[in-house]
Chains A and B, each alone.
Chain A
Amino acid sequence: MAARRNNPSGIVPTIQNIVSTVDLDCVLDLNHIAQHSRNSEYFPKRFSAVIMRIKDPKTTALIFASGKMVCTGAKTEAQSKLAARKFERIIQKLGFPAKFRDFRIQNIVASCDVQFTIRLEKFACTSHGAFSTYEPELFPGLIYRMKQPKLVLLIFVSGNVVIAGAKKRDDFYTAFDNIYPVLAEFKK
């Protein structure tokens, strides 16, 4: 991933969290996994999956009995894949024929700071109002649902912007490129 020079401001959103899923392709015995590994918790009454954590990369995995696994907490795509592989290794060591099928990144959350305060009420009133939801009583940030690429941005008065729902890094770069000039219009 080459460094992206997206817009004249030079601000690049930083990834905070990546959620990915992978199919281990074998039925798992969650009780066995929970008993024989030291960094996992399993409360079937609360949630029907084993929650396992590893220290490096610092990630958490939800492992289901069907063999599907959700891996969260990584900060880059490569780390997410590496973590998923580590989890798969642990399952293999516990005696299950785990494979690594269909690794897919489901959601990337990124944030950035545009360095100026934004007038959210004005924003919601304009032509972008169709995509925005601003309810100061309920949530202090404006929720902007962008159609192309399809993701959600949370825009705050302080100028912090959170972008969620991207499946690829390029998606949220594009999204930020799209939104930056609009935000600059409503600078306080």
Chain B
Amino acid sequence: MADTYCPDCKRPTEVVFDHSAGDTVCSECGLVLEAHSIDETSEWRTFANESTDNDPVRVGGPSNPLLADGGLSTVISKPTGASGDFLTTSLGRWQNRGSNPDRSLIQAFKTIATMSDRLGLVATIKDRANEIYKKVEDQKPLRGRNQDAILAACLYIACRQEDKPRTVKVANGATKKEIGRAKEYIVKQLEVELGQSMEMGTIHAGDFLRRFCSHLGMNNQAVKAAQEAVQKSEELDIRRSPISIAAAIIYIITQLSEDKKLLKDISLSTGVAEGTIRNSYKDLYPYAARIIPSWYAKEDDLKNLCSP
């Protein structure tokens, strides 16, 4: 039921859509406004446990605007049953070997998908990363750096743009330095293209805190205390990377509670070296009274805190 203009009645009338015949009919005079409308919903319902042998679906996957031709392609498949014919079996192989302009792009997208799966990232971030990669792909200066670093940097930038930053250590084989350099380069490229609209705020310890706490399985009280502590610590003049500060605060909070976490565990889940956590702890210790919220730990507990 919709309101559209009917040419016969010459005024907007109630229009009915008849699904069985695919007609759009005016309810006043019966004039058929549109016939044979094409139903764009899916033809068959798909279930996860169904075998792929008898799959009646006639359409492919969603079209990917990032690929050269929207991802459309035709593939020569092997005929079912008889497979003695050399020509039919080889045709498929030969067609695949032909040059595919998107080959490297598809490969890169696959790698980004694997990485984002490992980190548990949403499809939004993955798509963003794909876009970014497409923009910077195949530029000459980029050829020098290794592929992993570039992909990891794309993912890192995508996370930052969505305000869900991840630590740089999080990606694989490439070193932090490589990823950092790739990231700088990509950001410069993007700024040139978009005309300087790249707004990536600086990272704060609080962004990562929630994630680290849940990795370690801290209880709600502890998590809240840690978040408050991080807020307060922003006022202080601590010259350490925000990640290290987050790790040190988690260490202090867990030391104060019953459920003490080992330095090793914290180091593993945050990616900060044990020595760095110890040093950050040394820096934070003098201010412990100020940053730890009073409802969580009393003065005497703080005295119990081992002095570094």
Stretch at the interface among A58-66, A84-92, A128-136: A128-136
> Shortest distance in angstroms between A131's beta carbon and chain B's nearest beta carbon?
11
Q: Which of B168, B196, B202 has the most CB of A within 10 A?
A: B202
A124 touching B239, Cβ below 8 Å: no
> Which residues of A lie under 8 Å from residue B201 when comparing CB positions?
125
Contact with A along B198-219 (1 / 0, CB 8 A): 0001111000000000000000
Q: Which residue of A lies closest to B201 (CB)?
A: A125
The answer for the CA separation of A125 and B201 in the assembled complex, in Å, is: 7
The answer, yes or no, to whether B71 is at the interface (CB within 8 Å) is no
Q: Contacting A140 at CB < 8 Å: which of B202, B237, B239?
A: B239
The answer for the CA separation of A139 and B45 in the assembled complex, in Å, is: 53
The answer for the CA separation of A150 and B242 in the assembled complex, in Å, is: 31
The answer for the CA separation of A140 and B241 in the assembled complex, in Å, is: 7
A124 touching B196, Cβ below 8 Å: no
A157 touching B180, Cβ below 8 Å: no
The answer for the CA separation of A121 and B168 in the assembled complex, in Å, is: 18
The answer, yes or no, to whether B279 is at the interface (CB within 8 Å) is no
Q: Which residue of B lies closest to A133 (CB)?
A: B184
A137 touching B203, Cβ below 8 Å: yes
The answer, yes or no, to whether B154 is at the interface (CB within 8 Å) is no
Q: Contacting A138 at CB < 8 Å: which of B168, B204, B239?
A: B168
Contact with B along A137-149 (1 / 0, CB 8 A): 1101000000000
Given that A137-B243, A138-B180 are known contacts, is A157 also in contact with B202, CB under 8 Å in the complex? Answer: no
Q: Which residues in chain A, 12-49, are within 8 Å of chain B measured between CB atoms?
A: none
> Which residues of A lie under 8 Å from residue B239 when comparing CB positions?
140, 157-158
A interface residues with partner B (beta carbon < 8 Å): 117, 120-121, 124-125, 130, 133-138, 140, 157-158, 188
What are 20 residue pairs bridging A and B, where the CB atoms are less than 8 Å apart in the complex? A117-B237, A120-B202, A121-B202, A124-B202, A125-B201, A133-B184, A134-B202, A135-B180, A136-B202, A136-B242, A137-B168, A137-B176, A137-B203, A137-B242, A138-B168, A138-B176, A140-B239, A140-B241, A157-B239, A188-B237
